[in-house]
Amino acid sequence: MLSTLLLAAARSRRTRDLVTSVPLTRGVVDRFVAGDDLDAAIEVVRELRRDGLKVTLDHLGEDTVEREQAAVVRDAYLDMFAAFEEHGLARGADASVKLSALGQALDGALALDHAREICAAAGRVGVTVTLDMEDHTTVDSTLEILGKLRVDFPWVGVAVQAMLRRTAGDLRDLVGEGSRVRLVKGAYAEPASVAFQGKRDVDRAYVRGLRILMRGDGYPMIGSHDPRMIDIALALAVERAPSSYEFQMLYGIRSDEQRRLAEAHQMRVYVPYGADWYGYFMRRLAERPANLVFFLRSFVNR
Ligand code: FDA
Reported as a single tens digit per residue, the pLDDT across 76-95 is 999 999 999 999 999 999 99
Tens-place pLDDT, residues 122-162: 999 999 999 999 999 999 999 999 999 999 999 999 999 99
Position in ligand 1 atom list of the atom nearest CA 163: 43
Per-residue confidence (pLDDT) for residue 27, from 0 to 100: 77
Per-residue confidence (pLDDT) for residue 302, from 0 to 100: 53
> Domains of the chain: which residue ranges?
1-33+278-302, 38-276
3-state DSSP assignment of residue 222: strand
The rounded mean pLDDT for the chain is 94
d(CA 78, CA 120): 10
User: What does DSSP assign to residue 164?
Assistant: B
- pLDDT of 66 above 90: yes
Nearest of 23, 92, 16 to residue 60 by alpha carbon: 16
**Amino acid at the residue 73:** V
Contact, 160 vs 183, CB < 8 A?
yes
**130 sits in which H/E element:** strand 128-131
- 10 falls in which pLDDT band (50, 70, 90)? confident
From the CA atom positions of the chain, what is the Rg in Å?
Answer: 18
Position in ligand 1 atom list of the atom nearest CA 285: 18
- pLDDT of 24 above 70: no
Kindly give the distance from the C-alpha atom of residue 160 to the centroid of ligand 1, in angstroms, as a whole number.
Answer: 13
- pLDDT of 301 above 70: no
Whole-model pTM: value is 0.96
Is 197 annotated among the ligand-binding residues? no
Residue 270 pairs in a beta bridge with 56, 250
d(CA 84, CA 128): 12
Is 211 designated active site?
no
Strand 94-97 with 54-59, pairing = parallel
What are the phi and psi torsion angles at 32 (to 5°)?
A: -110, -15
Predicted complex ipTM exceeds 0.85: yes
Per-residue confidence (pLDDT) for residue 298, from 0 to 100: 66
Is 152 designated active site?
no
Is 284 annotated among the ligand-binding residues? yes
Per-residue confidence (pLDDT) for residue 291, from 0 to 100: 83
Contact, 27 vs 298, CB < 8 A?
yes
Alpha helix locations (H) across the chain? Answer: 2-9, 13-21, 25-32, 38-50, 67-86, 108-125, 139-152, 167-174, 199-215, 227-236, 255-262, 278-287, 289-300
What mean pLDDT is predicted for residues 97-101? 98
- pLDDT of 240 above 80: yes
Mean pLDDT is lowest, of 60-64, 95-99, 297-301, for: 297-301
Per-residue confidence (pLDDT) for residue 299, from 0 to 100: 62
- 293 falls in which pLDDT band (50, 70, 90)? confident
Per-residue confidence (pLDDT) for residue 6, from 0 to 100: 85
Per-residue confidence (pLDDT) for residue 268, from 0 to 100: 98
Percentages of the chain per state (helix, strand, coil), in multiples of 5: 55, 15, 30
Residue 182 pairs in a beta bridge with 159, 221
Residue 15 burial (CB < 10 Å; 0-12/13-18/19+)?
A: middle
Kindly give the distance from the C-alpha atom of residue 42 to the centroid of ligand 1, in angstroms, as a whole number.
Answer: 23
Tens-place pLDDT, residues 35-50: 999 999 999 999 999 9
Tens-place pLDDT, residues 170-216: 999 999 999 999 999 999 999 999 999 999 999 999 999 999 999 99
Is 88 annotated among the ligand-binding residues? no
CATH class of 38-276: alpha beta
What mean pLDDT is predicted for residues 275-296? 87
- pLDDT of 26 above 80: no
